[in-house]
Amino acid sequence: MLKKVIIIGGGAAGLGAAYKVRRAAEAGHDVDCILLEKDDRLGGKLATDIVRDAEGGEYVVDGGSDAFVAGKPAIGRIARMLGIAEDMTPAREENKKTLIVKGKRLIELPDGIMMFAPTKLVPLATTPLYSWPAKFRMALDWFLPRKVRWAEGETAQDHDETLESFVVRRMGRESLDRLAEPLVGGVHASDPAQMSIAATFPNFLEMEQQFGSLIRGFLAERKKREEMRKKYPPKPGAKPWAFFNTFYRGMQELTDRMADAVGRERIRTGAHVETVEHVGEGWRVTLAGGEVIDGDALIVATEAWASTLLMRGVDDELADLLASIPCSSSATVPIAFRAEDCPFDTKWFGILSPLVEKRPLLAVTLSSSKWPDRAPEDRVLLRGFIGGPANQHLLEATDEELIETVRQQLVELLGIKPDAQPVYASVYRWIGGMPQYTLGHLDRVDEIERRTGVITGLELAGGAFRGVGIPNCIESGERAVTKVLGDIGITYEEDTTPPARTH
Ligand SMILES: Cc1cc2nc3c(=O)[nH]c(=O)nc-3n(C[C@H](O)[C@H](O)[C@H](O)COP(=O)(O)OP(=O)(O)OC[C@H]3O[C@@H](n4cnc5c(N)ncnc54)[C@H](O)[C@@H]3O)c2cc1C
């Protein structure tokens, strides 16, 4: 008999799940799915708009995620299955440069810095980013002993620590304030005093164990990368390799094509699930408006706060655990100017503004330099990022106020002409959009998985658990399918090994 999987949430995780259910069906299993998304747009935090300014100039604008990292294979694998691998577009490495705000200056990230650890002496010595005492303090990492030696079998999870405690302990306060906070904390829009290292960057803790020092660990990593580059030089004519990648017409291309492969007839937008019930051996969801949908299994791929509401009544302890994953809000503000109003060098990707600078703007991406064909030749497309745990109050401003805040900051930081008005600007708000992996996060996720593991036909998926990156979210959706199909008597596993590296 045909089994039906209900999937709530049309982001990367929900669509990743639905696409896998379809593959199982195409492989001959008697299973189908329905995906319910409350918004009118599919894709969740992947939201691309192709817009025009008053003069007809076209912009490819990513309002949410704008990149995926090359190192995680899930997106390449999915793109190949969907036939859109050719659209994967590397960042324009020739413009790769990060600038850090210090007072009224923009200081280039010194060469050799890996994450926040220096691996080259001269650039560290000459950068004005840090004070001299801070530079010596960072170098001390080489000599400082490990905090503890892990016992046999222990992992980073057994020695969780906040980003603040870890970086200050190894490299000093200024290293945290000037770089680790905006760069490492910024990726997760997280407060360094709360952010779990074991859940976000366990490799830092592992490096300390293995090498006794982060600098030594990152030096070893740099050497390994250089060897790999020599061993696998790019093939002539092959796309250049870049750490950051996107899709040619924006990130939403990925979720749109996944939705096409799932079959749009299986997807309902504007379908807000209000309640979930475990009825007999199956699952029942009720939409706002009262419509009821029944299924054999249920995957909840919503934000942590939304999953909390849906799980209340199904398993209250599970709902409490979900509620213990805080979510912070943010907004991105894409904004375009005429090139003649922007008298600055455009060979860079982004600006980071540390919290100690007390600016309303946390980061800026120069989209028209980072990616090809995002704006007309004579336009400059930027994207401001506002919010994060320390700046939630700023999001109370209206769209017009946020745009003006970003405009003013860009005038101040980049020297955009003070009276220059944007030729295009918009605001994308992500309310409760970024889960915070706080200290002990992995222990809570273990407990969540233990609880869902014993509830037949139910699984949770998404960025709230084991990685906020898009590849992690897709994989979490796929793992959820394996779990719920197993629960309803269908064994479906795929070979997800990435193809051998050829360059
Ligand atoms: C501004 C921003 C920039 C980012 N940049 C990057 C980046 O460059 N690279 C990267 O890898 N990651 C990035 N991330 C993180 C990444 O985009 C997310 O972690 C990921 O897309 C989350 O996918 P998801 O499917 O778990 O959840 P979501 O995309 O949040 O999808 C959940 C969906 O569930 C729906 N939903 C919620 N409740 C209900 C309900 N009751 N009924 C029906 N539907 C419901 C929501 O409307 C939503 O569409 C960024 C995140 C943000 C906010």
Residues 319 and 444 in one domain: yes
Q: Considering its fold, how many domains does the chain have in total?
A: 3
CATH of residue 405's domain is 3.90.660.20
Asked if residue 244 belongs to a domain, the reply is: no
Is the confidence at residue 497, as pLDDT, over 80? no
CB 448 within 8 A of CB 465: yes
CA gap 114, 147 in Å, rounded? 21
Q: How far is the CA of 47 from the centre of ligand 1 (A)?
A: 9
3-state secondary structure at position 18: helix
Domain co-membership, 120 together with 197? yes
Q: Which two tokens stand for residue 42?
A: 């599919």
Q: Are residues 133 and 204 in the same domain?
A: yes
Range of the domain at 225: 111-231
Residues in contact with ligand 1 (CB, 6 Å cut-off): 8-14, 36-39, 44-46, 64-68, 272-273, 301-303, 306, 330, 332, 430, 433-434, 462-463, 468-470, 473
Side by side, the strands of the sheet bearing 267-268 are 267-268, 31-36, 3-8, 297-300, 458-460
Residue nearest atom 1 in ligand 1 by C-alpha distance: 64
Residues 379 and 260 in one domain: no
34 and 85 within one domain: no
Which residue, among 198, 192, 208, has the nearest Cα to 141 in the 3D structure? 208
Tell me: the pLDDT tens digits for 215-236?
999 999 999 988 988 888 877 7
Mutational test site, ligand 1, from 262, 468, 472, max ligand atoms within 8 Å of CB = 468
User: How far apart (Å, rounded) are the C-alpha atoms in residues 141 and 264?
Assistant: 54
Helix (H) or strand (E) holding 384: strand 379-387
pLDDT, position 200: 95
**Do 202 and 124 share a structural domain?**
yes
463 Cα nearest atom in ligand 1: 26
Average pLDDT for the chain = 95
**Is the residue at 32 inside a domain?**
yes
Same domain, 10 and 87: no
What is the DSSP track for 202-251?
A: HHHHHHHHHHSSHHHHHHHHHHHHHHHHHHSPPPTTSPPP-SEEEETT-T
Please check whether residue 32 is in contact with residue 266, taking contact to mean a CB–CB distance below 8 angstroms.
yes
pLDDT at 500: 56
Q: How many CB atoms lie within 10 A of CB 233?
A: 9
**Model-level pTM?**
0.96
Atom 41 of ligand 1: nearest residue by CA position: 273
Query: Ligand 1, closest atom to CA 271?
Result: 43
Contact 163, 197 (CB under 8 A): yes
Ligand 1: which of 65, 246, 371 to mutate, most ligand atoms within 8 Å of CB? 65
The yes-or-no verdict on residue 503 having pLDDT over 50 is no
* Structure tokens given for 20: 């896998």
Judge whether 501 lies within some domain: no
pLDDT tens figures, 256-270: 999 999 999 999 999
Same domain, 59 and 32: no
pLDDT (mean) for 307-332: 97
